[in-house]
Amino acid sequence: MTGWSRRRLLTTALSTALVPAAASLAPLSASSALAAIGEWRFRRGVNAWPWFALTREFPAPRTDYDWPPFQSQRPVPTPDDLGRLRQTGLDFIRLPVDPGPFLAADATTRAKLLAMLDAAVAATLAAGLGIIVNVQANGATHYWNPDRMLSSTEAPAFELYRALIGELAGRLARFTPGMVALEPVNEPAQSCDSNVWSQVQASLLTAARASSRTLPLVVTGGCGSMVSGLVALDPAPLAAFEPILFTFHFYEPYLFSHQGAPWMREPVYRSLNNVPWPASAGSLEQTLASVRARMAQDSETSEADKQAAYAETERVLKVYFDAKPDRWFIDKYLSQARAWADAHGIAPERVIMGEFGALRTDARYVAAPNPDRARYISDVRQSAEAAGFPWAFWDLFDGMGMMDDTTRALDPAMVEALGLRMPE
């Protein structure tokens, strides 16, 4: 990643929420500000990872994928699953799609993959759900990764990626108007005010518009699509690409939402658990005791590394508990996004909180206490709705999910936290 990682938050996660929103900015013209309001089916959604993720790429030096390119054991929603999601009150899904298999494939294989994606879109629409197709490059792959495709317009595979965006826009435009949108990039790594990201995004939007003048496109700011990236985004140059929607992601404070996450790079997260929400629901002493117990079970990490991780964990947890984050903390962040929208004359219904969630404690993960997780998700959801923002929960499956990977049972606590209803 270049410039910025949205994971680099240990020292700023609690202070950033208090930064005042950007000062008065020139609003878009009334016509362009209203051009993309529309009656689209994007109010309450869920991300459907890993439907088109968890790939089977061959190791280097090969750059291609096995067939089929997606792991067979990954959870994929059935038509019945999609129907039950609609019954809960959800009205759209956000579908992350790994571009690697599409770009590595020959013409015949690519046609098969595009047909698979068409079928997924059609199944979603048949269930009465809208869909935002998000092209989501996988940073864990050795070849078809974000640096190679999106680090700049001069990146080695940028033109291939750009051509895929154009092709997808043309295909998605054939579906029901107002029910389908395309999000060309997930969480751009460039800094918040990066001209490089502006150039990359404009080029991709140009490719999409060459294939469809009417398909809604979802745009975002740098800094991994954080709120800080959105408020640094100048929407005026993007008016040429209407109809557009805007998006940001919200996982703050990461000490809560990503506790126990094995994919996090910072050593603090490996043994972090039992962090309460709100902070007043627990204590520093209780959480540190849980961290020590978790570290004692870790036979892979050296004692020296454990000691260093514990010292850092103690430091950042003191900041967390001293700040006493609760609903006010979330409102402070989202008020910045709302102030940005108001300053630019953008209706809040056009600004989608495209990801939010928290890791649960289950047989695989030791993370947030599940009642605390439900309180946090409820607070984030209610704060977004109070600001007028649509949202998409992360995720349908896996450790941050709302549906069991195997039984397909919905989690009643998550359904309630999201303000939904259990299907009959």
3-state secondary structure of 45: strand
User: How many angstroms separate the first and last alpha carbons of the chain?
Assistant: 45
Boundaries of CATH 3.20.20.80 in the chain? 16-257+327-417
3-state secondary structure of 298: coil
Number of C-beta neighbours around residue 323 at 10 A:
16
The superfamily in CATH containing domain 16-257+327-417 is Glycosidases (3.20.20.80)
Q: List 247's β-bridge partners, or say none.
A: 220, 352
- In this prediction the pTM is 0.92
Could you say which residues of the chain have pLDDT below 50? 1-38
Helix and strand element counts for the chain (H, E): 15, 10
Q: Are strands 44-47 and 55-57 parallel, antiparallel or unpaired?
A: unpaired
- Cα 197 to Cα 6, 37, 109, 232: the distances in Å are 15, 25, 31, 12
List of residues 6+ apart from 284 with CB closer than 8 A: 317, 318, 321
CB 288 within 8 A of CB 391: no
Average pLDDT, the chain: 92
pLDDT in tens, 360-408: 999 999 999 999 999 999 999 999 999 999 999 999 999 999 999 999 9
pLDDT in tens, 163-186: 999 999 999 999 999 999 999 999
Q: List 218's β-bridge partners, or say none.
A: 245
The C-alpha atoms of residue 87 and residue 105 are separated, in whole angstroms, by: 37
Cis peptide bond upstream of 146, omega within 30: no
pLDDT in tens, 95-136: 999 999 999 999 999 999 999 999 999 999 999 999 999 999
Phi-psi label, residue 7: left if phi above 0, alpha if psi -120 to 50, beta otherwise:
alpha
